[in-house]
Structure 1
Amino acid sequence: MSSLVSCRSGNAVGRILLMAAAVLSLPGCAVMSAAGPSSGDIREANQAPVGNANIRIVDLNDALSRTIIARSRPLLLSESIGDGFVLGSMVGKGDVLDISIWEAPPAALFGASMSGGRLASSGAAAQGSGFPEQMVSSEGTITIPFAGKVMAAGRTPQQIENDIVSRLRGKAHLPQVVVRLVRNSAANVTIVGEVANSSRVPLTAKGERLLDILATAGGVRQPVGKTTIQVTRGDRVASLPLDTIIRDPRQNIRLQPDDVVTALFQPYSFVALGATGRNDEIPFEGTGITLVQALGRVQGIQDQRANVRGVFLFRFEDPTVLGNELASTATRTPDGKIPVIYRIDMKDPSTLFISQSFPIHNGDVLYVSNAPLADIQKFVSIISSTIFPIASVRTAVQ
């Protein structure tokens, strides 16, 4: 009986060995499942059409890294938007003005002064008249007796005073004019988005800055590192991470009427796949992280599995980064980007210096391929796990 079992067990082992030999003769992709494409598969994709576009493999080097860093620098608010004017220095539509006009004696036009709501004799002193408060019209003008319509919007109180004096010269005797901004009804900033209280915030003569308005709205509801502030002024729109605005006082720009401030929650992330210490979607701060920081957050690459020359970064890249030759021939995505795979040789010591400044973008995919030996070891492990239990049964029966 034992010889019969031994014979049958020997035949089973032989069949498994024959199956292993047959499997070894198949293409690599049929041997076993893998976490992703091999280094060779990715290199072959360099000339393979994908969705009518050729995916290019680009070796990451110092020159390319410098170009990408320069292109990745966000446009600062101080450069794209700039400081607004201090409230009170410029009159706008809807503002309320208080205007007083004086004449030296003998007064010709404004020969009485206002006192307690009644006309009072001014004697030999300078004589003047105070007018009811005027709101700047939708056309941007105010009306002054004997001077007519005077343009006020977009001008300072001093400029309005000089204009009125020039119009009254020759009519009034040595006229003097004082224009005072009483209410700035139209001077508001709108703040919306991820703040405690979305509202319209009135501006004052202090000259409120961006962080002042955020504080007035109760601050942001999301972590500072994941919040981006967008400022809209007319047809100009610019955004910057809140953390950058806090750290760089130049970006805490002075706001002006009708600006719109939007606090945006930006959960930036990249995806790590393959022979890394952690396969996951990894969030990062709005200020960005570098390639070496990204590798650190996924616990590096696995020593037993990874191909150190098979580290790849998949990205939809800005065409201006890649040069005219590639940009002119590649088919772009609907938003104008080009699919690119950056190849990173971690065996080259200089790569560690380059990766300390190479930026990771939102949506990047970091992939580390298996070393060829790792695939062989995986196959041997599968075969061993199948053979050894049968061999154990054979030993037990004997």
Structure 2
Amino acid sequence: MNSTVLGYVASTAPASSLSGGFGGGRGGVPSLPLGVGDVIQISIFESQAGGLFIPSDAGSRPGNYITLPNQTIDRDGTISVPYAGKIRAAGRSIEQVQDDIEQRLANRAIEPQAVITKISSRSAQVAVLGDVNSPAKIQLTEAGDRILDVISEAGGLSAPAVETYVTLQRRGHTARVHYTYLTKTPSENIYVYPGDTVLVDRERRTFTAFGASGLNGRIDFEETSLSLADALGKAGGLLDSRADPAQVYLYRIVDRSLLKQLGADSPKFGSETSVPVIFRANLRDPSTFFAAQKFPMQDRDIIYVTNSQATELYKFLDLVGSVPATAGNVSGDSLATRNNIRAF
């Protein structure tokens, strides 16, 4: 592990983007046309009483209009207006439907004016699922709603932010980003569109430590980014009595392109796109400490700290000492040798 390797590894750290995947960060507020399932209310105004809808004796009324019963846009995408018939509504704006109603009633009513109010919308909804406090379908507004807006409407996160990822699914395409990166990068907080699905999922990021370290086992990251130096610290550091600081290894599955950049022999791995790689850190070299502070850990990395050669010799001598010997002096000599080494 050196500065050259560090440059390639740091530059190839995995990253994803919502704005890059959908380009929504460069667009404006999405339009929300009427759609199947929407419930609307239609009011029709006439310029004076005595027309099609307003009787001649309606002078005492507060206005020359009637309000039709609420109706749901049917599966055919149409609504029904008296004396105007079936009118296509799905996929059209409110203004377009209003104009259509007015044109159809122009020869029957007195200067008709139509006003449509959207009571509820089922066509302009976003599903927010996963590790949020209140998973639900969120109704979008004409003002525009972004990723963080709909997550907030769903009650916010129910898992630690540092372990949470946000996935956006739209028309067969998917993009995924870390929640912390989403909150720190405004361009990633893109507008959501009707029919989108926002999946919030917790991914426990861990690494595993083995060998001559203070702790062995599976250890949580517990933070957004973790360096090799931080990981060794979390694992309790290197045991002075056992560890060989020159032989600290990190095991990782990497993309094959990284091997090509490092000049490694990649053809022998055949057609595999991901290959296992072992990085070695010589902590006897002071410069390696600086590299370890910048070397990024990834989920499921394995750290192995080897035992020193003296420790392996101790193990051998203990084994010899525990085996009954035909000659009594064998075990005695081995014990004496072991004690002398320890004294040294």
Per the normalisation by structure 2, the TM-score is: 0.70
Matched, 1:69 2:6: no
Structure 2: runs of 5 or more not aligned: 323-330, 337-344
CA distance in 1, matches of 2:103, 2:205: 59
Residue aligned with 2:75, SS = coil
User: What does residue 94 of structure 1 align with?
Assistant: 37
Aligned residues: 320
**Equivalences for 1:109-258 in 2 at 5 Å?**
112=51, 114-115=53-54, 118=55, 135-140=72-77, 149-150=87-88, 152-153=90-91, 155-158=92-95, 178-205=115-142, 207-258=144-195
User: Any conservation in 2 of the 1:266–1:286 contact (CA below 8 Å)?
Assistant: no
1:35-74 CA-to-partner distances (Å, cap 9, x unmatched) read xxxxxxxxxxxxxxxxxxxxxxxxx343443333333242
Shift of 1:221: 3.4
CA distance in 1, matches of 2:13, 2:77: 42
1:195-239 CA-to-partner distances (Å, cap 9, x unmatched) read 334333333445444444444444433333333233322312233
User: What does residue 332 of structure 2 align with?
Assistant: 387
Aligned mate of 1:306, from 243, 253, 259: 243
Distance change (3 Å), C-alpha of 1:64 and 1:179: farther
Shift of 1:297: 0.9
- Single out whichever of 264-273 and 225-234 deviates more from structure 2: 225-234
1:62-104 CA-to-partner distances (Å, cap 9, x unmatched) read 3443333333242133333436975874333322345567799
User: What does residue 341 of structure 2 align with?
Assistant: none
Return the letter of the residue paired with 2:12. R
Per the normalisation by structure 1, the TM-score is: 0.62
Return the letter of the residue paired with 2:243. A
Shift of 1:282: 1.0
Distance change (3 Å), C-alpha of 1:114 and 1:363: same
Larger radius of gyration: 1
Distance change (3 Å), C-alpha of 1:164 and 1:340: farther
User: Any conservation in 2 of the 1:147–1:168 contact (CA below 8 Å)?
Assistant: no
Q: CA RMSD in A?
A: 4.3
CA distance in 2, matches of 1:223, 1:70: 26
User: Any conservation in 2 of the 1:228–1:264 contact (CA below 8 Å)?
Assistant: yes
CA distance in 1, matches of 2:220, 2:280: 22
User: What does residue 56 of structure 1 align with?
Assistant: none
Shift of 1:294: 0.9
Structure with the larger RCO, 1 or 2 (CA within 8 Å, 6+ apart): 1
Shift of 1:173: 10
Shift of 1:270: 0.9
Distance change (3 Å), C-alpha of 1:227 and 1:174: same
Shift of 1:330: 1.0
Distance change (3 Å), C-alpha of 1:275 and 1:166: farther
Distance change (3 Å), C-alpha of 1:242 and 1:376: same
User: Any conservation in 1 of the 2:253–2:274 contact (CA below 8 Å)?
Assistant: yes
Distance change (3 Å), C-alpha of 1:131 and 1:86: farther
Shift of 1:133: 5.2
User: What does residue 394 of structure 1 align with?
Assistant: none
